[in-house]
């Protein structure tokens, strides 16, 4: 039986396919030390290869990433920061900012405002042209908080450039797919630097599996793509 027109499922539009990102100064808002690589890592290296300045902000201290106490608690936060520095060096990103917010806590509106104020500071200091942050459907409370607080801060700062939401925990219906095939091995090397997290979760498999899946749209299943949602500011 044919459904009435207003009951039909609409087909989402095909995403824009890009071989390189737009040029400009890039600010990344990452929830934990490793999200800056696992999410937009390929895009960041492509930005650097075309000469774009990139700053990565890591919002939390990441101390909840050792639930079994495998590491020295007194030095664990610094270990995660060092993993981030080492990983991002593979992506040619040396400008990192660590906010040190608590990891995996109950989040209220005051916390969102604190993230927003820090975001305003970064926008005014770094003057980015492009911003990357978690997409709105991420299935992790810290990722959601950075999305909400980052977006609130961008609005307060009057930011008018493109904002791209990246995926890690939940797959999105993308607005844009960036072909990262030429830099995928550098991204692998970057992510292997987060040894404290690989001790718990084999996230290389799902992250690069998702990147491989994205190639169905632009290269008949060959290669790798990072997916992004346009965020309205």
Any domain includes 206: yes
* Distance separating alpha carbons of residues 123 and 151, to the nearest angstrom: 12
The dihedral built from the CA positions of residue 151, 133, 169 and 180, taken in this order, carries a sign that is: positive
Q: Answer yes or no: is 69 within a domain.
A: no
The one-character DSSP state at 23 is P
| Antiparallel, parallel or unpaired: β 54-60 and 225-230 | unpaired
Predicted structure pTM score: 0.94
Number of domains into which the chain is organized: 1
Q: How do residues 178-213 score in pLDDT, each as one tens digit?
A: 999 999 999 999 999 999 999 999 999 999 999 999
CATH code for position 176? 3.40.50.10320
**Do the beta carbons of residue 230 and residue 164 sit within 8 Å?**
yes
Domain that holds residue 47: 25-61+76-230
Within-domain flag for 154 = yes
Length of the chain: 233
Nearest to 43 by CA among 103, 149, 107, 132: 132
Residue 181 inside a domain? The answer is yes
Does 67 map to a domain?
no
Instruction: End-to-end CA distance of the chain: give it in Å, rounded.
Output: 42
Nearest to 178 by CA among 66, 45, 55: 45
In-domain check, residue 31: yes
Per residue in 9-64, pLDDT (tens digit) is 677 789 999 999 999 999 999 999 999 999 999 999 999 999 999 999 999 999 99
Q: Which two tokens stand for residue 168?
A: 């890690």
Q: Is residue 110 part of a domain?
A: yes
For residues 12 and 175, give the distance between their C-alpha atoms in angstroms, rounded to a whole number.
9
For residue 18, is it within any domain? no
CA distance 11 to 111: 37
């Amino acid at each position: 039986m044919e459904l009435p027109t207003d009951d039909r499922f609409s087909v989402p539009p095909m995403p824009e396919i890009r071989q390189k990102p737009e040029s400009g100064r890039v600010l990344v808002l990452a929830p934990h030390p490793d999200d800056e690589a696992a999410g937009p890592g390929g895009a960041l290296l492509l930005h650097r290869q075309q000469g774009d300045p990139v700053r990565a902000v890591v919002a939390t201290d990441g101390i909840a990433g050792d639930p079994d106490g495998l590491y020295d608690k007194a030095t664990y936060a610094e270990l995660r920061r060092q993993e981030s520095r080492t990983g991002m060096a593979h992506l040619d990103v040396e400008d990192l900012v660590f906010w040190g917010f608590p990891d995996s806590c109950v989040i209220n509106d005051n916390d969102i405002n604190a993230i927003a104020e820090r975001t305003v500071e970064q926008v005014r200091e770094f003057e980015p042209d492009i911003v990357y942050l978690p997409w709105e459907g991420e299935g992790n409370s810290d990722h959601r908080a950075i999305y909400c607080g980052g977006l609130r801060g961008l609005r307060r700062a009057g930011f008018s450039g493109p904002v791209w939401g990246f995926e890690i925990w939940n797959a999105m219906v993308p607005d844009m797919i960036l072909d990262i095939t030429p830099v995928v091995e550098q991204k692998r090397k970057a992510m292997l630097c987060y040894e404290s997290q690989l001790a718990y979760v084999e996230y290389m498999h799902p992250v690069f599996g998702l990147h491989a899946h994205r190639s169905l749209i632009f290269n008949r299943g060959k290669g790798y793509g990072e997916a992004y949602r346009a965020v309205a500011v």
